[in-house]
């Protein structure tokens, strides 16, 4: 049962960050395609901005989930 709890926590905490990076990369790719620019740093900057925004929006939930998970694993009340 703890395995499925840990798996659910991993999916809840990791998915917003992965989607943020994917969305940032997609938007940067669209900008590159429309501007006909082939620069790797633009793609990296888009992914970095997507990650930063997703982390900023989900940081309180991530911290609370880590505290709850640690308390549950260590048996604290």
Question: For residue 64, is it within any domain?
Answer: yes
* Average pLDDT, rounded, for the chain: 84
Please give the C-alpha separations between residue 37 and each of 40, 43, 53, in angstroms, as whole numbers.
Answer: 9, 10, 24
Confidence (pTM): 0.72
Domain hosting 47: range is 38-72
**Average pLDDT score over residue span 10-28:** 87
pLDDT tens for each residue of 30-61: 888 888 888 777 788 888 889 999 989 999 98
> Is it the case that residue 77 has pLDDT exceeding 60?
no
Domain count, the chain: 1
């Amino acid at each position: 049962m703890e395995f499925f709890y840990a798996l659910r926590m991993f999916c809840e905490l990791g998915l917003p960050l992965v989607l943020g990076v994917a969305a940032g990369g997609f938007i940067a790719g669209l900008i590159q395609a429309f501007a006909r620019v082939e620069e790797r740093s633009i793609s990296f900057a888009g992914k970095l901005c997507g990650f930063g925004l997703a982390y900023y929006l989900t940081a309180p939930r991530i911290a609370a989930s880590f505290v709850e998970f640690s308390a549950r694993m260590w048996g604290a009340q």
